[in-house]
Each structure stands twice: as C-alpha cells, then as structure tokens.
C-alpha cells in the first residue's frame, strides 16, 4: 500500500512505522542481542588537517542494522541504551572495535600517528569500570594511548563534575586525549572550561552552518578558535558542508575540519583510501 503513494509520503509512512515499531520493541533485550549478534557496526568519518589536507584521524560513529527495522541511527538508540544500562556493553564494543581498526590502519598505511575519536556518553563515563575498559581496549589493540581521543559533550562533562574531573585526569595521565563535543551548544561556562583537562574543542555544527553568511556566527567561531589556542586546545570544526565554509575556517586558523564537504562517515573498507592518503 505504501508503495502507491507519493515519494514523501512513503518516507513519512515508513518513518512513522519505524517509530511505532521502536516503541513496541523491548529495546533493552533487542539492544543486548544487537551486541551479541553483531548487528552493530561502526562508520568512520575522516578528520582532516585544514592546512595540509592530511587525514589526522577518524571519528567512529555507531550504527545498528536491525533485522526488521533496518538501519537505526545512534540518536534513536543511544538514549535508550543509556536508560537501560546496555550502553556499557555497547560502549565497550565501540571502544575495542575502533581501537582495533585504527591499529589495523596504522599497520596498513605506516602512519603511526593516525588517531581515532570515540564518542562516550555521560552514563558510560560515570561507570567505575570505564577507565579499565579504556585500558583494556588499548591493550588488546596495541593502539598507543595518544592515538585515542574520547569525545564528551560539555553537558555530560558538567554532570557529576568532581568524579568527571577525576576520571578525566586519570585518562590524561594514560595519555588519552579528551575532546569537548558539540562545543558551544550547551551551557558551558568559562569557569568550568578552565577546570576541564580537555585537549580539543569540537565546534558545534550549528555555528559552522552559516559561517560565511552570518557575521555573528563568524565572530563566535573566531572567538572559539582564539580561546582554544590560548588554552592550548586544538579546534575541530564539525559539519563542514561547503568549500566556502572550509576556506573561511582556514582563514580563521582552525586546525581541523570534519563534514560532508570533505567526506561523509564511511564503512571501514571505504574509509581506507582516505586514511591511507590515496584519496582526498
């Protein structure tokens, strides 16, 4: 029946079905099974040095290929996984898989500096086992700690600040990097930012979108980059979709960029030519 109606309506119809189905499912058991049955996979999006064009790293982005629902995006299942606690299993799997893949790429390409950025949710970060999980993933993969960067949003960093700071310090002592994801989108205050042992700021896509047409956005991005430099932090612009945005970011001395203008998230095999520097 759905096939007979117009294109948009088919999409809306299946999106609605998707949503209803998601609600009907017992997500916890399904998600647990997803980990065991290899239904999760990672896409990798290159993070590029704006000045040289070299791929410095990738960001690992999880996806769920559900046997009935098809592809489920992280925004749809990560919040649920956090609620039920299955995020710990998922997170462990993501860490291990991303580290193993990056080590494989390092061996394959001879680029020993190739790094990976892994998203970590607040719930996961609060778990007493978290630092142990990170150590285990590094040990299993033999990936140098300096090649692993954990991404946390400023919002999740400010939850339970004292314990977050302790965990961050521990990770920094290991040599692992810490990136502030979606920077500027939360309730960050300079007072907190000053205390956080972060190493990288990822400028939220919302500020990049109208960068070359909106003077306020440009002023804000410029200030973020300058502040980052002052605090000894590198900056990554997220969601760079056009060459104009990229050119502007280069002028503003942003260090790295990530976005559709450079490369979308890809399956590991598809990303290989990019990390090998064969394709730009």
**Helices of type H across the chain:** 7-24, 27-36, 74-84, 87-109, 122-126, 130-141, 154-158, 161-174, 190-195, 205-208, 215-230, 243-251, 268-275
**181 near Mg ion, judged by CB under 5 A:** yes
Q: Is 101 left (phi over 0), alpha (psi -120 to 50) or beta?
A: alpha
CB burial of 39-60 (b: ≥16 within 10 Å; e: otherwise) equals: bbebbbbbbbebeeeebbbbbb
CA dist., res. 39 & res. 53, Å (int): 33
Angle, alpha carbons 229-261-209 (nearest 5°): 65
Size of the site for ligand C2E (CB under 6 A): 21
Q: Rounded CA gap, 244 and 16, in Å? A: 36
Least separation, in Å, of the C-beta of 9 and ligand C2E?
Answer: 24
Q: Among ligand C2E, Mg ion, none, what does residue 61 contact (CB within 5–8 Å per kind)? A: ligand C2E
Q: Which of Mg ion, ligand C2E, none binds 121 (CB below 5-8 Å, type-dependent)?
A: ligand C2E
Q: For ligand C2E, which residue of 30, 31, 64, 74 counts as binding (CB under 6 A)?
A: 74
Question: Which are the contacts of 211, defined by CB distance < 8 A and separation ≥ 6?
Answer: 217, 218, 221, 244, 245, 248, 249
Residue among 114 and 263 whose Cβ is closer to ligand C2E: 263
Residue 151 in contact with Mg ion, rule: CB under 5 A = yes
Of these partners, ligand C2E, Mg ion, none, which one is at the site of residue 265 (CB under 5 to 8 Å by kind)? ligand C2E
Contact 271, 46 (CB under 8 A): yes
Q: Which of residues 3-42 bind ligand C2E (CB under 6 A)?
A: none
Q: How far is the CB of 1 from ligand C2E (least distance, A)?
A: 30
154 binds ligand C2E (CB under 6 A): no
Residue closer to ligand C2E, measured from CB, 2 or 140: 140
Q: Choose, by CB under 6 A, the member of 50, 57, 72, 78 that binds ligand C2E.
A: 78
Site for Mg ion (CB under 5 A): which residue of 134, 182, 203, 225?
182
Q: Considering only residues 221-240, where is the footprint of Mg ion by CB under 5 A?
A: 238
Structure tokens at 118: 């892994």
The single residue among 260, 277, 279, 280 that binds ligand C2E, judged by CB under 6 A, is 260
For the chain, what is the largest distance between any 2 Cα atoms, rounded to a whole number of angstroms?
A: 60
| Residues in CB range of 234: below 8 A, 6 or more apart | 199, 200, 201, 228, 255, 256
When CB distances are held under 5 to 8 angstroms depending on the partner's kind, the choice from ligand C2E, Mg ion, none that residue 154 binds is none
**Contacts (CB under 6 A) with ligand C2E, residues 79-138:** 94, 119-121
Residue keyed to tokens 């769920």: 64
Residues in 173-212 that interact with ligand C2E by CB under 6 A: 181-182, 205
Whether the CB-CB separation of 177 and 150 falls below 8 Å is answered with: yes
Which one, 46 or 228, has the nearer CB to ligand C2E?
46
Where does this chain bind Mg ion (CB under 5 A)? 119, 151, 181-182, 238
The residues that touch ligand C2E, with contacts defined as CB under 6 A, are 45, 61-62, 73-75, 78, 94, 119-121, 151, 181-182, 205, 239-241, 259-260, 265
């Amino acid at each position: 029946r759905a096939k007979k109606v117009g294109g948009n309506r088919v999409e809306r119809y299946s999106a609605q079905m998707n949503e209803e189905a998601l609600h009907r499912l017992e997500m916890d058991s399904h998600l647990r099974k997803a980990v065991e049955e290899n239904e999760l996979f990672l896409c990798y999006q290159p993070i590029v040095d704006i000045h040289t064009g070299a791929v410095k790293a990738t960001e690992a982005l999880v996806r769920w290929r559900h046997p009935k629902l098809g592809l489920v995006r992280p925004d749809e299942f990560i919040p649920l996984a956090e609620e039920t606690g299955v995020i710990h299993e998922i997170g462990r799997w993501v860490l291990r898989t991303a580290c193993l893949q990056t080590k494989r790429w390092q061996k394959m390409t001879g680029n020993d500096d190739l790094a990976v950025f892994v998203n970590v949710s607040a719930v996961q970060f609060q778990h007493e086992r978290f630092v142990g999980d990170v150590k285990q993933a590094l040990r299993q993969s033999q990936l140098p700690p300096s090649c692993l960067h954990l991404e946390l949003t400023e919002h999740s960093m400010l939850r339970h600040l004292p314990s977050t700071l302790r965990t961050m310090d521990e990770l920094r002592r290991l040599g692992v990097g810490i990136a502030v994801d979606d920077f500027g989108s939360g309730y960050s205050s300079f007072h907190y930012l000053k205390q956080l042992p972060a190493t990288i700021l990822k400028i939220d896509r919302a500020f990049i979108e109208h960068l070359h047409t909106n003077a306020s956005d440009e002023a804000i991005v410029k200030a973020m980059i300058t502040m980052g430099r002052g605090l000894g932090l590198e900056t990554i612009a997220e969601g760079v979709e056009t060459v104009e945005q990229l050119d502007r970011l280069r002028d503003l001395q942003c260090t790295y960029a990530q976005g559709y203008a450079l490369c979308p998230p890809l399956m590991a095999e598809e990303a290989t030519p990019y990390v090998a520097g064969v394709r730009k």
